[in-house]
Amino acid sequence: ADFALFRAKEHKVGQAIEFSAHHAESLMREAVVHQALKKADLDKELRLVFQPIVNSTDGQITRCEALARWDSPELGSVPPMEFVGIAEKMGMTQQLTRVVVRQALEYLRDCPELPSLSVNLSAQDIISRETSDALVAMILAEPEHVRHRLVLEVTESSLLNDMEEARYNLMKFRFMGLKIALDDFGTGYSSLRYLQDLEFDIVKIDRSFGAAINTAARGLGLVATIQHLCRSLSIECIIEGIETREQLETARSAGCRLVQGYLYSAPLSAGDLHAYLIGEKRFPTYRQLLEDGTRD
């Protein structure tokens, strides 16, 4: 057995070296981001971009998602896929989330035309009494017409650790008039009990389903089933990651109307979003999109 292992190692040795070099590099990068994040003045260095969620039937913006961008003076722009995970490991998501929520509330205040804005919460935020109480205080300081347009997005995996605590904290937000969205649905356990017990207002079907909707017949079946399930529970359903007209067409045949994805828009700056909100710019309806598609 030892001999076989040795042979296996021999064959893989090039690969192993490559792997460990890659691994070392990513550990080093993580340490660098960690250090920069520790020193960061998030109030100044963090900004939000806004991705519209469009009703494809009439081209109207029904909601919007706020996504964090970190412009580090040392590292330049660091994507959230990188820094959010590191902030979680460092236990500094409360700080991050407070900045994000503060900026989101500011935007809602400045922009009465915006029907709804969602922010992403980290797993730790939802199970931390301290964080949720800090957020409650910030949100309660806002008038109703501002805070009722704020939506909190949580992921399935963040509910796993402490479902009871999550339920308790989410309930506080719901009492204040906020809506709660289950993000990246379909990537975790997709437990139907979550939908029932935690009374989500909105489900966002993960973008991997949006992307696969045309390539796999089962993908379409799954999306149609989730859509149907949501409808029967009176949960609003949004499909993420729609990049092409074909995907939109298929998503619509599965019953999806509300879409978020590059086909309509990448995340926008506050100013660019505003142009849509005041009607200076418009998103096409589904029909218009398909007509354009047949022309080219």
Residues lying near ligand C2E in the complex (CB under 6 A): 51, 67-68, 79-81, 84, 100, 120-122, 153, 183-184, 207, 241-243, 260-262, 267
User: At a CB cut-off of 8 Å and minimum separation 6, what does 139 contact?
Assistant: 101, 105, 147, 150, 173, 176, 178
- Interaction between residue 103 and Mg ion (CB under 5 A): no
Lookup result for tokens 């079946």: 221
Q: Are residues 107 and 114 in contact, defined by beta-carbon separation less than 8 angstroms? A: yes
To the nearest 5 percent, what fractions of the chain are helix, strand and coil? Answer: 55, 20, 25
Residue with smaller CB distance to ligand C2E, 106 or 243: 243
**Minimum distance, C-beta of residue 119 to Mg ion, in the bound complex (Å):** 8
Cβ proximity of 173 and 207 under 8 Å: no
Examine residue 156 and tell whether it contacts Mg ion (CB under 5 A).
Answer: no
236 forms part of the interface with Mg ion (CB under 5 A): no
What number of chain residues touch Mg ion (CB under 5 A)?
A: 4
Q: How far apart are the first and last CA of the chain?
A: 62
For residue 158, the partner it binds in ligand C2E, Mg ion, none, with Cβ less than 5 to 8 A by kind, is: none
Q: Name the minimum Å distance from CB 132 to Mg ion.
A: 18
* 224 backbone dihedrals φ, ψ, rounded to 5°: -60, -40
Q: Which does 188 bind (CB under 5 to 8 A by kind): ligand C2E, Mg ion, none?
A: none
Show contacts with Mg ion in window 177-206 (CB under 5 A).
Answer: 183-184
Which residues have CB under 8 Å from 276's CB, separation 6+? Answer: 52, 61, 268, 282, 283
Q: How far is the CB of 16 from ligand C2E (least distance, A)?
A: 31
Give the C-alpha separation, 251 to 183, whole Å: 18
Give the nearest distance from C-beta 2 to ligand C2E in angstroms.
Answer: 45
Q: Compute the least distance from the CB of residue 238 to ligand C2E, in Å.
A: 11
Binding partner of residue 261 among ligand C2E, Mg ion, none, CB cut-off 5 to 8 Å per kind: ligand C2E
Q: In 3D, which of 150, 243, 165 has the Cα closest to residue 198?
A: 165
79 binds, among Mg ion, ligand C2E, none (CB under 5 to 8 A by kind): ligand C2E
When asked if residue 125 is in the footprint of Mg ion (CB under 5 A), the reply is no
Report the distance separating Cα 259 and Cα 263, nearest Å.
9
Q: At closest approach, how far in Å is the CB of 12 from ligand C2E?
A: 32
Q: What CA–CA distance (Å, rounded) separates 276 from 260?
A: 15
Nearer to Mg ion, 41 or 83 (CB): 83
- Interface positions with Mg ion (CB under 5 A): 120, 153, 183-184
